[in-house]
Amino acid sequence: MGAITPMLDDIKRRTGLLPKVLLADANHAKHECLSAAAVRGVEAIVAVPERSQRGGPHASTEPAVVAWRERMESDGAKQLYRARASLCELSNAHLRTHHGLGLFLVRGLAAATNVVLLGAIASNLLQHAATLLG
């Protein structure tokens, strides 16, 4: 929970820009992060967690959170969120299944980051091998 703000900070640091739209899993839907993203002009497309759909006494009335809930009820947002799976889930499954990244045999964040980056590079090379070699 709460990874949206650090994600946006990292994107801004690396590229100098913020995305107009951010797709993320439901477990990133911390209200403070959704509000911070809205203030920065980023439209968050994040599924509303099931426990949060029921409303109840802890439902937020903050305008950015209410707008997010309403946006996620629209067909356009639902279609964008469904597209998220094809962007990341398949590559994650390939890395885990075909490249052995299900378990890390290294210790520490820096070493794990290196393993993930090497896996991403290998995945990109394999995906574009025909174009690169052709």
**What pLDDT, on a 0 to 100 scale, did the predictor assign at position 113?**
86
**What pLDDT, on a 0 to 100 scale, did the predictor assign at position 56?**
53
Find the DSSP H helices in the chain.
Answer: 4-15, 31-39, 50-53, 63-73, 75-98, 109-127, 129-133
pTM over 0.75: no
Residue 41: partners with Cβ closer than 8 Å, 6 or more residues away: 18, 20
**What pLDDT, on a 0 to 100 scale, did the predictor assign at position 89?**
72
**In whole angstroms, what is the distance from residue 43 CA to residue 45 CA?**
6
List the chain pLDDT tens, one digit each, 134 residues. 778 888 899 999 989 999 998 888 777 778 888 899 899 999 888 888 765 555 555 567 888 888 888 888 888 888 888 777 777 677 778 778 877 777 778 888 898 888 888 888 888 888 888 888 87
